[in-house]
Structure 1
Amino acid sequence: MKNTSTRLLLSCAAIGVAGGLLFIVNSYLGGTVNAVLPVLYGLTLGVYFMPGAIAQRLFRRGGVALLVAAISGLVSAAFQPLGFGAALIAVGIGLVQELPFLLFRYRRWPAWLFVAGSVLSGVVLAIGMYRLVGAHALDAVGAGILIAGSVLSPVAFTLLALVLGRALEATGVTRGLDRRR
């Protein structure tokens, strides 16, 4: 991230801290859903894609999703059951969010690329959830719901992040930070 200003770093930190607070709440909500109704657990996982997608939408710079995800994971690590493992998972999500834009060398930022990246992430997530939650022990309908939720949740929350990013951008808070301007 060359030509990185203090303002950009502080903006990423603010999004990261807000994302970390969201991660803390979601870790307990998701844990409860997993204990009570594991087939719906995949629906809670898309929350982890929001902070990085918001940062990418606002700043259109390489590395911001990874930075924001790392900050979010570190903020939440002390307050959730996974501990530092939560930070590592958040960094992994941030890396996956960077990949589609890296392929275009951070020169294109269309909404479809956000969605394509979240679909890819959702497929990877669905494979992990199938093994973690034990979907093989579920019936076909339950396994289908778990896998569909794991794929669709990142897409839904990424789309929500794009809407939130657009609304934040309309306020003018990103003036001078977006590389296109």
Structure 2
Amino acid sequence: MRNVSTRLLLTCAAIGVAGGLVFALNAWIGGTVAALAPLFYGFTIGVYFLPGVVAQYVIRRGGVAILTAAIAGLVTAPLQPIGFWATLIAIAIGAFQELPFLITRYRRWNTWLFIVGGIVAGIVCAAGMYRTLAKDALDAASGAILMTGYFVAPVVFTAIAVLLGAALVRTGVARGLRAEHTRVTRSA
């Protein structure tokens, strides 16, 4: 990230702290769901996709998803049972969120790229959880429920984050933060 201003860092920090607090709340809700109805836990993981996408949508610069996700992970680490692992998970999700834009060399910020990133992350999450949990231990219907949650949550929460980011942009917080060489079509 070149030309990083204090304002950009503070914007990432504000989004990251808010995201971290939401992560902490979700850790307890998700833990309860995992204990009572583990097949539905996947539907709770989408929250981890909010801060990175909001930061990307508002700022539209490379690296902000990883930075914001790392801040969110650090904020939530002492507030949830998995501790520092939350930071590592958040950073991994932030890196996934950077990929579609890295491929375009951070020149395109179309809304569909955010959704494609959510779909790819959903496929990776669902496949990973199927391989880890469902392959041998669950019947077909239970495996389908588990995988659906891990696939749908990243896509839905990415769409929600795009809407939140758009609302923030309408307030004017993005003025002066966005990279000048970005291209956006009418769909963004």
Q: When the two structures are superposed, what TM-score results if normalisation uses the length of structure 1?
A: 0.96
What does residue 54 of structure 1 align with? 54
What does residue 115 of structure 2 align with? 115
Quote the Cα distance in structure 2 between the aligned partners of 1:36 and 1:180: 49
What does residue 65 of structure 2 align with? 65
Counterpart AA for 2:46: G
What does residue 20 of structure 1 align with? 20
- Is the aligned partner of 1:138 residue 2:138? yes
Q: Which runs of 5+ in 1 are unaligned?
A: none
Alignment of 1:1-181 (within 5 A): 1-134=1-134, 136-180=136-180
Cα offsets for 1:109-128 (capped at 9, x unmatched): 11111111111111111123
Cα offsets for 1:142-168 (capped at 9, x unmatched): 110110111111000000000011011
Quote the Cα distance in structure 1 between the aligned partners of 2:132 and 2:12: 31
Quote the Cα distance in structure 2 between the aligned partners of 1:77 and 1:135: 30
Q: Which runs of 5+ in 2 are unaligned?
A: 182-188
Quote the Cα distance in structure 2 between the aligned partners of 1:4 and 1:78: 28
* Per-residue deviation, 1:67: 0.1
Quote the Cα distance in structure 2 between the aligned partners of 1:84 and 1:134: 26
Q: When the two structures are superposed, what TM-score results if normalisation uses the length of structure 2?
A: 0.92
* Per-residue deviation, 1:139: 2.0
Counterpart AA for 1:111: T
Quote the Cα distance in structure 1 between the aligned partners of 2:28 and 2:82: 11
Identity of aligned residues (%): 58
Counterpart AA for 1:165: G
Secondary structure of 2:79's match? coil
Counterpart AA for 1:158: T
